[in-house]
């Protein structure tokens, strides 16, 4: 195999509200960097080809599969992972609590990805129909097939944040 020079680059970005800097191998995916350099182990390695959504993170408020995103592209961005949702003393956020209440978790592997997409949905401040929510959540696979419970958890939190009772 042909040998070539290792190539590194300094990346500065904001991770869960904190400015950080790292020298990364340019071949790294954002998943690689978040897990290996920052110990953000909520970012799961699933399919690694952008199909399952387990590695989903929020970049400047939008959901991205970090497995098909170059680590060097993080430069200058605001990135949020599940770890960033916890309160100062490790309290769960409302959407995490709703996942617990609705038993929207079985093995838990898809959960961080689903929750971060839910955060993007909830932060829009809009009310969505069930059909719209299903479409917005469709970039995630749950192999324990807990989709109905997940949908309920998101819907419940959406109505709580809107300050309205959930329609029956």
Region of 15-23, 67-75, 91-99, 152-160 interacting with other proteins (CB under 8 A): 67-75
Sheet holding 78-80, edge to edge: 18-25, 8-15, 78-80, 56-59, 62-65
- Residue 158 found at the interface with other proteins (CB under 8 A): no
Q: Which of residues 33-62 bind other proteins (CB under 8 A)?
A: 48-51, 53, 56, 62
Reduced to 3 states, what is the DSSP secondary structure of residue 56?
strand
Q: Does 124 bind other proteins (CB under 8 A)?
A: no
Q: How many residues bind other proteins (CB under 8 A)?
A: 32
- Span interacting with other proteins, options 70-78, 91-99, 104-112, 160-168, rule CB under 8 A: 70-78
- Cα dihedral across residues 27, 29, 35, 38: positive or negative: positive
DSSP conformational letter for 126 = -
Q: Candidates 25, 37, 83, 94: give the one binding other proteins (CB under 8 A).
A: 25
How far apart CA 31 and CA 70 sit, in angstroms, is 9
Q: Does 2 help bind other proteins (rule: CB under 8 A)? A: yes
Going by the DSSP 8-state scheme, the letter that residue 121 receives in this structure is H
Tokens for 126, please give them: 């809009």
Stretch that binds other proteins, among 28-36, 80-88, 93-101, 149-157 (CB under 8 A): 28-36
Nearer Cβ to other proteins (48/83): 48
Any residues with CB less than 8 A from the CB of 46 and at least 6 apart, and which? 52, 53, 54, 55, 67, 109, 110, 113, 141
- Rule CB under 8 A: which residues touch other proteins? 2, 4-5, 7, 25-29, 32, 48-51, 53, 56, 62-65, 68-70, 72-73, 117, 135-140
């Amino acid at each position: 195999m042909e040998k070539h020079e290792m190539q590194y680059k300094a990346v500065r970005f904001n991770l869960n509200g904190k400015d950080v800097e790292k020298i990364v191998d340019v071949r790294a995916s954002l998943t690689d960097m978040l897990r290996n350099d920052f110990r953000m182990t909520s970012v799961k390695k699933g399919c690694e080809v952008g199909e399952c959504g387990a590695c989903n993170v929020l970049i400047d408020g939008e959901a991205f599969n970090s497995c098909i995103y170059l680590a060097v592209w993080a430069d200058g961005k605001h990135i949020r992972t599940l770890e960033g949702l916890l309160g100062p003393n490790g309290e769960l956020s409302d959407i995490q609590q709703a996942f617990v209440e609705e038993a929207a978790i079985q093995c838990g592997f898809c959960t961080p990805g689903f929750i971060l997409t839910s955060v993007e949905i909830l932060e829009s401040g809009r009310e969505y129909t069930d059909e719209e929510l299903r479409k917005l959540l469709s970039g995630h696979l749950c192999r324990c097939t807990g989709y109905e419970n997940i949908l309920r958890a998101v819907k419940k939190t959406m109505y709580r944040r809107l300050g309205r009772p959930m329609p029956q």
